[in-house]
């Protein structure tokens, strides 16, 4: 069973969506990366540039693989930091889960410090919130329904953002401009901050350097178009790449697969690709 909803209005500047899932508690396979791929239990998770927070309420853990194929397991509550490249995870485990998709720039407000400290990695929420992370997880596990779990995670987040302010306006403006396809040079030219200062506050707020974030924006534009029938050359042009070789090269660097492979696998969710 799965439910998803928008957050309460007070959280909408910080949270994009909330979701909860109920399924049988099942441990992962303990297979190697290659064996897991052969068994169909491996998933590429493609980057969005945003952070997420997941509470695993049962005994199962999240297993992710680093670029070398080394596995790392996470139980309980986990922060998924902003990423500029895909990561791989084991999808053979299951259990009750509550998830929060954060808006760009919300990380430092909920977790403190610089968002770069969380980027390109998963981090135990307990390392950031201390014992409160486990208390929240226990309250979620005790809730009588999936909707009640979403209510309770909202309560926990509201306590965190009660005194928070929105990201610096310079960063919010830079985000909008980069998402609209502006170059970093143009963004800097329109800002009152120096290039160095704007780059620093942008990375601290978002978790990615501006140019890395711009690559993810371009990649996301291509992902949306790969679900259609346009040629690779047309997708490259429409998504902001300089040419088709640039598109092919950068897509593979980010996704870990070529655009053609991605298209053949035709994932139901464009950011989650099996194999």
DSSP 171-210: HHHHHHHHHTT--HHHHHHH-SS-HHHHHHHHHHHHSS-H
Whole-model pTM: value is: 0.91
> Going by C-beta distance under 8 Å and a sequence separation of 6 or more, which residues neighbour residue 128?
79, 111, 112
pLDDT value at position 69? 85
Residue 113 and residue 248 in one domain: no
Residue 18 sits in a domain whose CATH number is: 2.60.120
What local confidence, expressed as pLDDT, does residue 34 receive? 66
Specify whether 190 is located in the same domain as 135.
no
Residues of the chain under the 70 pLDDT cut: 24-40
- The domain tally of the chain equals 2
Which pLDDT score is estimated for 31? Answer: 59
Give the tens place of pLDDT for each residue, 222-261: 999 999 999 999 999 999 999 999 999 999 999 999 999 9
Same domain, 40 and 92: yes
- Per-residue pLDDT, 40: 67
Residues 187 and 228 in one domain: yes
CA pair distance 248, 239, nearest whole angstrom: 12
pLDDT > 70: percent of the chain: 93
Name the residue among 241, 109, 236, 239 with its Cα closest to residue 167.
109
């Amino acid at each position: 069973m799965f439910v998803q909803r928008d957050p309460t209005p007070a959280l909408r500047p910080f949270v994009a969506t909330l979701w909860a899932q109920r399924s049988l508690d099942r441990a992962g396979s303990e297979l190697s990366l290659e064996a897991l791929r052969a068994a169909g239990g491996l998933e590429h998770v493609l980057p969005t540039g945003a952070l997420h927070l997941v509470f695993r309420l049962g005994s199962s853990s999240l297993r992710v693989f680093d670029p070398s194929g080394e596995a790392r397991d996470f139980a309980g509550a986990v922060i998924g930091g902003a990423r500029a490249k895909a990561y791989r995870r084991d999808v053979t485990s299951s259990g009750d889960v509550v998830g929060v998709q954060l808006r760009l720039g919300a990380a430092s407000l909920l977790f403190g410090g610089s968002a770069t400290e969380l980027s390109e990695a998963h981090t135990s929420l307990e390392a950031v919130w201390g014992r409160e992370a486990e208390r929240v997880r226990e309250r979620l596990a005790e809730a009588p329904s999936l909707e009640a779990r979403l209510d309770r995670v909202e309560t926990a987040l509201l306590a965190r953002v009660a005194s928070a302010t929105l990201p610096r306006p310079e960063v919010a403006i830079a985000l909008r401009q980069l998402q609209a396809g502006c170059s970093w040079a143009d963004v800097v030219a329109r800002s009152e901050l120096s290039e160095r200062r704007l780059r620093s506050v942008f990375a601290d707020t978002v978790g990615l350097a501006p140019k890395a974030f711009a690559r993810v924006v371009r990649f996301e534009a291509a992902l949306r178009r790969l679900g259609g029938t346009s040629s690779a050359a047309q997708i490259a042009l429409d998504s902001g790449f300089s040419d088709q070789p640039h598109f092919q090269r950068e897509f593979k660097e980010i996704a870990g697969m070529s655009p053609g492979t991605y298209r053949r696998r035709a994932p139901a969710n464009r950011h989650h690709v099996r194999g």
